[in-house]
Structure 1
């Protein structure tokens, strides 16, 4: 290291502690310039001038995430509220000190109180997204402390859908309700296009044209155009011209659905019309790839949930199973009878 100077300005025999640099120069001016350059680099070097540890708490990180990214999401405000409640339940730890065990312990306690596994997985995903996004933006210098925490494994549930008789019952019940004119028309558009209820609620009247309806406020942020019948187009235009744009009325739909004798699994009421469209589309011989485009699924795996409803789905199982090739129907029946 370079030598120091005493109070009189003379060279001090006592060297400054630290890393030593040796190099020969022809002139003193070159040596002085080199000394200045090295000192400047050492000040800028993170190894010699480390940043203080990030002590921001989880609530502060959530606020920063919302300011930098969350406000751009369609559900950003709702997600921020969930994250702040979650941070409070975790006792608002310093972000970099949060551990997977803390989250798992909270998850176990919430599960014991009856919180659904899907809800817990959503909360974990929201929390991971905060750290991932802040790290991606360079706002934090440490990796996601929850990257190894796995979601709860859920039992896949069969999607419910309405029969033709159920559809008639539901539409009749909606038409009979006088509180709002919108739910019956929204339901018909959902059944005809497979759109989400919220997508139809936000429908722009100008996008109902030429035998199609275009949804611009979609979950995937991509516009989607679906053909509709001339009768529905005329009725939809007349409705919007007379009653104005659709309003938020999902709760009205839920109440009417609950008042009927139609049984829908918990959590599927909001999407029952979308499931009904997709299910009948496949049962009537529709193509799975076409259905993917109509529903706006970015992944075919999502659409494949309806594949089992296809008339020819996995029929090879009947033809090529071992009993079909080695046993006759009478032998199989006899074997079942004898065993029972």
Structure 2
């Protein structure tokens, strides 16, 4: 690199910032030539080609470990997610993270789907793996696009929410009271039916969170603390139970056996959760407010609670009142048919 005066009096800036690139230009003054030289050098220093990074050759397993160290350990289900991610990594034969082939991942997903893995599980795993890349990029640990960014999740049909009628609730409670070897099943079921709590929330209830006919749930799925009032009779029943049997212990298996004995059939995976749906469904059918129900259930968004809106009395009444059959005398129509036949 140099700035030299030529025979004709002008100044030549001859700049070669990197091998293979040369910039030459004539100027009327030496100051202009020097500024040009500085400009070329400064701009090339900012160019990635000036000092290219070595390719990121870290394996997917290394990225998963880094994600867990920097972020995953803070999640409630961080350990479980990492176990899922490690299993995915093993099935994909631990590729280089930056060159993960989306089609290879999609093929593995198809194989697992055909083997019986549910679409919901596969969608969750896709979300977990995407989160690894997104978090690491946000933390400045990688500088490339998420290789699974354009992989589409499976479309899942909305499941029908199963809930128990008053008669079924009585049948279930009778099956619990007459044949359950675990005494904790009945109070836990009653708490779920009275508050819409998840089974784990009700089972984890302690005496310090039951006071003044109110139950406070903490460490919930949404990480929110919520308080739900219950009847004084239920509070007294629970306290008397604790005096006799001690704190709640694991009772879900005994509950499932009681459910089988009751003869009540529920969709797969909705055994204990049907108790939560039952509370919400009865709440709306009896004229409850949808926003109040959201707070009671602890839903993070109203959209989740809106699944129960169709059970509101006004909704059900309008379905009948605004139906195209409203006002049509069906029995009279049947008589017309009979007259024609005769």
Smaller-chain TM-score bracket: 0.7 to 0.9
Corresponding residue number in structure 1 for 2:203: 201
Q: Is the CA contact (8 Å cut-off) linking 2:57 and 2:98 kept in structure 1?
A: yes
Distance across 2 between alignment mates of 1:109 and 1:199: 36
Pairwise CA distance, 1:212: 0.8
Which of residues 104, 107, 112 is equivalent to 1:105? 107
Distance across 2 between alignment mates of 1:141 and 1:159: 43
| 1:141-220 paired onto structure 2 within 5 Å | 141-177=143-179, 179-220=181-222
Pairwise CA distance, 1:226: 0.5
Which of residues 249, 252, 255 is equivalent to 1:253? 255
Corresponding residue number in structure 2 for 1:91: 93
Instruction: Note the alpha carbon deviations across 1:250-278, whole angstroms, 9 max, x for none.
Output: 23322332333111100111311111111
Gaps of 5+ in 2: 4-13
Question: Per the alignment, do residues 166 and 178 of structure 1 end up closer, same or farther by CA in structure 2, a change over 3 Å counting?
Answer: closer
Instruction: Note the alpha carbon deviations across 1:153-204, whole angstroms, 9 max, x for none.
Output: 1122211112222222322333345643322211111111001111122324
Corresponding residue number in structure 1 for 2:132: 130
RMSD: 3.3
Pairwise CA distance, 1:309: 1.8
Pairwise CA distance, 1:105: 1.4
Q: Is the CA contact (8 Å cut-off) linking 1:2 and 1:20 kept in structure 2?
A: no
Distance across 1 between alignment mates of 2:337 and 2:295: 45
Corresponding residue number in structure 1 for 2:268: 266
| 1:256-335 paired onto structure 2 within 5 Å | 256-313=258-315, 315-324=317-326, 329=330
Q: Give the TM-score taking structure 2 as reference length.
A: 0.81
Q: Is the CA contact (8 Å cut-off) linking 1:2 and 1:21 kept in structure 2?
A: no
Distance across 1 between alignment mates of 2:82 and 2:61: 10
Q: Is the CA contact (8 Å cut-off) linking 2:15 and 2:24 kept in structure 1?
A: no
SS state of the match for residue 226, structure 1?
Answer: strand
Q: Is the CA contact (8 Å cut-off) linking 2:85 and 2:125 kept in structure 1?
A: yes
SS state of the match for residue 215, structure 2?
Answer: strand
Distance across 2 between alignment mates of 1:175 and 1:302: 33
Distance across 1 between alignment mates of 2:334 and 2:203: 54
Instruction: Note the alpha carbon deviations across 1:24-51, whole angstroms, 9 max, x for none.
Output: 889xxxx9xx98xx98997787442222
Which of residues 222, 225, 228 is equivalent to 2:227? 225
Q: Which runs of 4+ in 1 moved over 6 A?
A: 13-16, 21-26, 38-45, 334-338
Distance across 2 between alignment mates of 1:275 and 1:244: 28
Query: Which has the higher mean CA deviation after the structures are superposed, 212-221 or 105-114?
Result: 105-114
Query: Which has the higher mean CA deviation after the structures are superposed, 328-337 or 245-254?
Result: 328-337
Question: Per the alignment, do residues 126 and 227 of structure 1 end up closer, same or farther by CA in structure 2, a change over 3 Å counting?
Answer: same
Q: Is the CA contact (8 Å cut-off) linking 1:42 and 1:49 kept in structure 2?
A: no
SS state of the match for residue 170, structure 2?
Answer: helix
Which of residues 46, 50, 68 is equivalent to 1:48? 50
Distance across 2 between alignment mates of 1:336 and 1:21: 100
Pairwise CA distance, 1:213: 0.8
Instruction: Note the alpha carbon deviations across 1:40-81, whole angstroms, 9 max, x for none.
Output: 997787442222222222222222222122122222111211
Question: Per the alignment, do residues 316 and 132 of structure 1 end up closer, same or farther by CA in structure 2, a change over 3 Å counting?
Answer: same
Pairwise CA distance, 1:216: 0.7
Q: Is the CA contact (8 Å cut-off) linking 1:202 and 1:217 kept in structure 2?
A: no
Instruction: Note the alpha carbon deviations across 1:6-41, whole angstroms, 9 max, x for none.
Output: xxxxxxx99773566999889xxxx9xx98xx9899
